[in-house]
Amino acid sequence: MKDFHIDREARGAIQLIKLSGSLDMYSFPRLESQLSGMFEQGLIRVVLDCRNLDYIGSAGLGALIGFAKQAREKGGDVKLLNVPERIYKIIELLGFTKVLQVHETEEAALGSFAS
Amino acid sequence: MYVRIEGDSLSDSAKGISVACTTDEVFVRVVGRGTFQNSQPLRRFAMEMIEKGYRRFTVDVGACPNMDSTFLGVLAGIGLRLRQDGKPAAEVSVVSVSPRNLDLLQTLGLDRLFTVQTLETNGTPVSWPAGAAVERLPDSDIESLSKPLDKNETTDLMLDAHNSLVRADERNAPRFSGVTKFLRESVERGRSDKSK
């Protein structure tokens, strides 16, 4: 099982967070801490690049919805990018795609904040 | 219907969930990830065994690198159901627990619901009970499911599992409030769509 890694880059006012490895209950607190810290600084426009993510757990997805809602209340959002097909199938099955925006390209994800 | 496995070794490396029963105990071995994708066959099997009168379960997770909250919630549901029956000697033992899985069990307070043996305390891998028929639960290898998961059934399962985690330890309530709220709404939407 791959270790979980988080890499953060700023794209103007948007934070692009590249995730790799398994996002499960064991690793999620690290992302939670990263997002909480960013929200405290007012960085509420977030794109999570999931290209190298090999697993995401149900509790992690639920918590992401919570972060997305928090961000929306302040005019921001948390969106997903490059979601691998096997993970997309899961989040679509569970209906998470109704509350978390998923984009296929970085351009589309970043551009969606302007619209 | 379960798939019979030849041989009696717990070291079978094929992924999935295998089970064996003695007259008074159920053995379960998880090879590969335990997730919401293979929780349903385990829950069905366990409830069937509890209905048959079994009160002792041993779950070997030595070859399970990770368990998600739904899978752990299903295990918690088994433990709670046994506790609810109030029969003596009812027990779920989770054995060959890796440090990572131990951390998950402790974080969710499940180490107080189950008897937990780590890889260190076990000493040696647990063997299948002598002479017991070992069977593999259908659709328990998440990498080769025979059919797509049913949305409503999966949502119900996940909600029930997360509710079990909260019943097992109230400190889990805030941890899973986001996912349980979403799943509850999803289940209600599903029921409302059905009734139309």
Question: Can you tell me the ipTM of this complex?
Answer: 0.76
Give dist(CA A31, CA B16) in Å, integer. 29
**Domain of B170, in residue numbers:** 3-191
B54: domain CATH number is: 3.30.750.24
Tell me the C-alpha distance between A70 and A67, whole Å: 5
Q: Does A62 touch chain B (CB under 8 A)?
A: yes
**Position B72, amino acid:** L
Only one residue has tokens 């149900």, namely A58
Q: What is the pLDDT along chain B (196 residues), one digit of tens a residue?
A: 444 444 444 445 678 999 999 999 999 999 999 999 999 999 999 999 999 999 999 999 999 998 999 999 999 999 999 998 777 778 999 999 999 899 999 999 999 999 999 977 766 667 788 888 999 998 888 877 777 788 889 999 999 999 999 999 999 998 888 888 888 988 888 777 777 6
User: Which residue range is the domain that position A66 belongs to?
Assistant: 5-111
3-state secondary structure chain A: CCCCEEEEEEECCEEEEEEEEEECCCCHHHHHHHHHHHHHCCCCEEEEEEEEEEEECHHHHHHHHHHHHHHHHCCCEEEEECCCHHHHHHHHHCCHHHCCCEECCHHHHHHCCCC
Query: How far apart are alpha carbons A29 and A18 in whole angstroms?
Result: 16
Is-contact B21 B54, C-beta < 8 A? Answer: yes
B186 — contact with chain A (CB < 8 Å)?
Answer: yes
Domain count, chain A: 1
Task: Express each pLDDT in B78-107 by its tens digit.
Answer: 999 999 877 777 899 999 999 989 999 999
Judged by CB atoms closer than 8 Å, whether chains meet at A57 and B69 is answered as: yes
Say yes or no to pLDDT of A110 above 50. Answer: yes
Model confidence pLDDT, tens digit, residues B170-196: 999 988 888 888 889 888 887 777 776
Q: What are the chain B neighbours of A1 within 8 Å (beta carbons)?
A: 65-66
Output the domain CATH number for residue A48. 3.30.750.24
Let me know if residue B185 belongs to a domain: yes
Measured at the CA of B164, the angle between CA B161 and CA B166, to 5 degrees, comes to: 115
Side-chain-side CA neighbours of residue A94 (13 Å):
30
Structural domain includes residue B60: yes
Residues of chain A positioned with their CB less than 8 A from the CB of B144: none
Least Cα separation, residue A57 to chain B (angstroms): 6
Interchain CB distance below 8 Å, B178 and A65: yes
